Structure formats: structure tokens, C-alpha cells
Amino acid sequence: MRKSFASGRKERFEATLTVIKLKDDASDVRLVARLSRIVLGHDEDGDEISTLIVESVEELGPSLRVPAAKSVPPQQRLLMAVVAEAIDEAGETFLAFGGDGPHVRGVADSLIRARYYSRIAELAEPDEDRKKLAERQRKAFNNALREALKAERLLARERNGRRFIWLP
């Protein structure tokens, strides 16, 4: 919001609003609202009681800087689905952050890892042995988990010497 002063004690403000998504209409609409501050009175300490009133609103047209929607990579979508299934089948309820915070239902990452390996479409290359395939699967799982945790699509905590994962 930009603030500018006109003559006298009247303060003027300008706010630009960008509508990124509308249900059944065009999106990326920018509106500028011009507002004025008016004094309604004074409180018992003599401080002003004021509010803003809308003087005008006009459409500016599309914004040049609309944030792109962030899509979830396929590996992370698969991982989150596997986490949800593992929680349904073998999840445990615990306090998310030790003694503080909400109760959550999570599952040890070792249970997630086994399910993830069985669901990924990693097949051995013709000249690849089982060891190399296992290493590729391990890297795929670790990368997907690291990125999901970094993006806060999944949350984790150490508990009884094991890392537990849950959906936010």
C-alpha cells in the first residue's frame, strides 16, 4: 500500500489488488483502490479514531508478475500417496514436536521406504545388477523425501531412534 499526503490533514492511500484465480471468470485482474483516511473522533486519551473510506476503484488490467502455480513432481506425489497408505496401515499417534504441539499420526520412514520401492517403476537395465538397481531406488527415495520435507509437503521427527514421517 502506498501512502501519499494531500493538502491539509487528509491522508490518501493507494492499494493494488491482484486477483489470481476466479471460479468462473477471467483471472489475473488487477484493481487499484484509492482510499482516504477520515477522523471519526477522539478517544478518552485524546488519540484520533479514524478509518479508511474507498474513494475509487479501477481496473488496471493483467499483472505482469503473477506467481506460477507450483506443481508437485511425480516422485513426490507418489511418495505422499505411499506415506498416506503406510499411515493408514501402520501409523502411530504421537505428539508432533515432543511435549508440545498437536497429536499427529505418522509412520517410520523404513515402512515408507519398502512401500515406495515396491511402487516405483524402476526396472534393472539390461547390463545392470541388483546392487545398482537398489542404489538407484535408494537415491530416488532419498531425493523425493528430501524435497518433500524441504517443501513442507511432509514433516518428520526423530522418535525412539527412528525418523517418523507424517502429512501436514
134 with 97, same domain?
Answer: yes
Q: Which residue, chain included where needed, has cell 534393472?
A: 124
Residue 152 covered by a domain:
yes
pLDDT, residue 8, reads 45
101 with 154, same domain?
Answer: yes
Work out the pLDDT band at 37, boundaries 50, 70, 90. Answer: confident
Residue 146 covered by a domain:
yes
pLDDT, residue 28, reads 65
Using CA atoms, how far apart are residues 42 and 40, in angstroms rounded to an integer? 7
36 with 57, same domain?
Answer: yes
The 3-class secondary structure across the chain, one letter per residue, is CEEEECCCCCEEEEEEEEECCCCCCCCCEEEEEEEEEEEEEECCCCCEEEEEEEEEEEEEEECCCCCCCCCCCHHHHHHHHHHHHHHHHHCEEEEEECCEEEEEEEEEHHHHHHHHHHHCCCCCCCCCCHHHHHHHHHHHHHHHHHHHHHCCCCEEEEECCEEEEECC
Q: What is the tens place of the pLDDT at every residue in 61-96?
A: 555 554 455 688 888 888 999 999 999 999 998 888
Residue 21 covered by a domain:
yes
Residue 69 covered by a domain:
no
At which of 42, 62, 82 does a domain end? Answer: 62
Q: Tell me the mean pLDDT in the region 154-158.
A: 90
Q: Which residue has the higher pLDDT, 65 or 162?
A: 162
pLDDT, residue 31, reads 73
Q: Tell me the mean pLDDT in the region 145-153.
A: 91
Indicate the number of domains in the chain: 2
144 with 79, same domain?
Answer: yes
97 with 157, same domain?
Answer: yes
Q: Which residue has the higher pLDDT, 117 or 13?
A: 117
**Cα–Cα separations (whole angstroms), residue 128 to 113, 139, 143:** 21, 16, 21
What percentage of residues in the chain have a pLDDT greater than 70?
76
Q: Which residue has the higher pLDDT, 34 or 167?
A: 167
Using CA atoms, how far apart are residues 140 and 135, in angstroms rounded to an integer? 9
47 with 90, same domain?
Answer: no
What percentage of residues in the chain have a pLDDT greater than 90?
20
42 with 96, same domain?
Answer: no
36 with 78, same domain?
Answer: no
Residue 57 covered by a domain:
yes
Residue 48 covered by a domain:
yes
Range of the domain at 46: 2-62
Least confident of 12-16, 32-36, 43-47, 144-148: 12-16
Query: Is residue 30's pLDDT more than 90?
Result: no
pLDDT, residue 25, reads 61
124 with 157, same domain?
Answer: yes
Residue 68 covered by a domain:
no
